[in-house]
Structure 1
Amino acid sequence: MKNKLKVLRAENSYTQEDLADIIGVSRQTINAIEKEKFDPSLPTAFRISKLFKLPIEAIFYFEET
């Protein structure tokens, strides 16, 4: 799944550690999501969506290859 997490995080001046602490996951989880190696759980996606005040589909999207 593609995502805009790294861009949103940078725009809000959050480090990976900051974002991880805010949404209750590890820094490694944030790194893996940003590198598109791991899809977030639904609760994690909702927490990210709420934090950035955007719908989930504005942050995470599926792009067929």
Structure 2
Amino acid sequence: MKNSIKVERAKKNLTQADLAKLVNVSRQTINSMELGKYVPSTVLALRLASIFETDIESIFTLEESDWK
């Protein structure tokens, strides 16, 4: 699953640690999501969308490999 967390985070001038604190996860979790190594829960995705003031679909994009 592709995501634009790093881009959205930069728009808000947030560090990984800042964002992690806002959504109540570790900085490592934010890093893993940005690298595409971790797919967040629905609740975490909704928290991120709220912080970034956008919808989930604007942050996360399914890739063809996600359907297999």
TM-score by length of 1: 0.95
For residues 47-58 of structure 1, what are the structure 2 equivalents within 5 Å? 47-58=47-58
Matched, 1:22 2:22: yes
Unaligned 5+ runs, structure 1: none
Aligned residue number for residue 35 of structure 1: 35
The whole-number CA distance in structure 1 between the counterparts of 2:52 and 2:10 is 12
Give SS of 1:37's match: coil
The whole-number CA distance in structure 2 between the counterparts of 1:51 and 1:16 is 13
The whole-number CA distance in structure 2 between the counterparts of 1:49 and 1:12 is 12
The whole-number CA distance in structure 2 between the counterparts of 1:11 and 1:46 is 18
Structure 1 runs (4+) greater than 6 angstroms displaced: none
Task: Quote the sequence identity (%).
Answer: 49
Whichever of the two has the greater Rg, that structure is 2
TM-score by length of 2: 0.91
Aligned residue number for residue 12 of structure 1: 12
Q: Provide the aligned C-alpha RMSD in A.
A: 0.8
